[in-house]
Amino acid sequence: MAVNKKHDEFHTIDLTRGWSTPQGYPEGIKEQILAGSLDYENKRGSRTRHLRFDPGTYTTAPFVHDYWEEVYLLSGDLTVGNDEHGNGGVSFPPGTYACRPPGAVHGPFKSEKGCMLLEIHYYDESADAR
């Protein structure tokens, strides 16, 4: 896997700046890119980000993407598998982790009190050589 991230030593992350709503997400979900980027067209790259849900925010449909995703729930509550109205699903506490290969169906998601996730996304470029 080629890595497109710069060398960046320990430093304090300003959690009050640099947030934006990812394309296709509801307004109550924001991302803060920490390092790297994904090239969706050429299926290359890697990205590390925070993803934050405001209290009561939910998505309405499952997600599927063509890159690997690792997710660690830093704080708050996250429910997986709610319906399109935000009902139901299984709730997870901080300290829980998921690793999803390309093509894995996951979600929808909601957070009752809000949450913060650390996510790492990457394309497995070695798979192209097979």
29-129 placed in CATH 3.30.2230.10 = no
Segment among 19-28, 101-110, 120-129 with least mean pLDDT: 120-129
- Per residue in 45-95, pLDDT tens? 999 999 999 999 999 999 999 999 999 999 999 999 999 999 999 999 999
Instruction: State the pTM of this model.
Output: 0.91
Contacts of 62 (CB under 8 A, 6+ apart): 105, 106, 107, 108
Q: How far is CA 130 from the centre of its chain?
A: 27
What pLDDT is attached to residue 42?
Answer: 95
Q: Is pLDDT above 90 for 126?
A: no
Q: Which value, to the nearest 10 degrees, does the dihedral of the CA atoms of residues 78, 70, 45, 116 take?
A: 30
Nearest partner of 108 among 121, 129, 89, judged by Cα: 89
Domain ranges for the chain: 29-129
